[in-house]
Amino acid sequence: MKMRTLGRSGLSVSALGLGCMGMTGVYGEATDRGQMVKLVREAYERGITLFDTAEAYGPLENERLLGEALEPIRDQVVIATKFGFDIDQATGERRGGVNSRPEHIKAVVDAMLKRLRTSHIDLLYQHRVDPNVPIEEVAGAVGELIAAGKVRHWGLSEAGVQTIRRAHAVQPLAAVQSEYSLFWRGPEAELLPVLEELGIGFVPFSPLGAGFLTGKIDETTTFPEGDFRNAVPRFSVEARRANMALVDTVKTVAERKGATPAQVALAWLLAQRPWIVPIPGTTKLHRLEENLGGVTLDISSTELDEINVEAAKVPVIGDRLPEAAMKMTGL
């Protein structure tokens, strides 16, 4: 497995991480826990060292699953998790919106350590910016956790560039997490240049456009009950019909190279910056192995140019998140 360093943090991880959110729901019913524990360990055996979770996934259950799966190999992996929502740490009850008050962060981290069966969190993100708590206070609280040895690195998720600058000035950030793929290229305008300037790594979630770039989804696809894509404007039937031209571009390159669309989409993303580490999620071993093929797929500069030129001709239709979810981002 190729390795990458997240910015100037010194945190070295596999070039591809594993997003674990879908293992406890989100794309429909949760998958068998034992199978998911096995899949996480299979991912490690194949070279993946970065595993991404959050208190909000489940809630709480995703961290518990990952803690069980990684306990035997804890010293060989990097665990990334996220705080930031008002969730009861005993019951998992969602009590409201965001909550990044310093005392809440510290209580959440203590609970996370128990769920994850570990003495420290390698990479702790603020999941969503809390408009009621200055980011400097959040950074200060995380800095105290780092000084105490409970956290080693920290990051922000779905944060704007000014928030990133303010946070980084108080406690240097190792990584920022946000959506990025050929299906959503918003970070290219402002975010990527700022991360490069400050020496912060980038961890894109939904690097396959929530499955759209795999070529396995079209306008006739029906998502199961409980699948979040049912509420995403970009996954309406009309939007899927219009956006298929983007998938066709990826398919054309994939067919020529004897690869899959997913592998081409991941290779394109990895080629954008050497400090980008995508975290595609899956609950299936054959999809995990397919995704790993994107790390070793050689895409030339000519092919990258071809993808960019053709992709620029496709005006992607539909918002990437439901309106309520968009309001919770700091973008």
Catalytic residues: 57
CA nearest neighbour of 253 among 314, 309, 303, 209: 303
Cis preceding linkage at 233, omega within 30: no
Strands (E), 74-164: 78-83, 85-87, 94-98, 121-126, 151-157
HSE-CB for 33 with a 13 A CA cutoff? 10
Q: What is the DSSP letter of 1?
A: -
CA nearest neighbour of 104 among 70, 131, 78, 138: 138
CA dihedral 133, 136, 142, 144 (to 10 degrees): -120
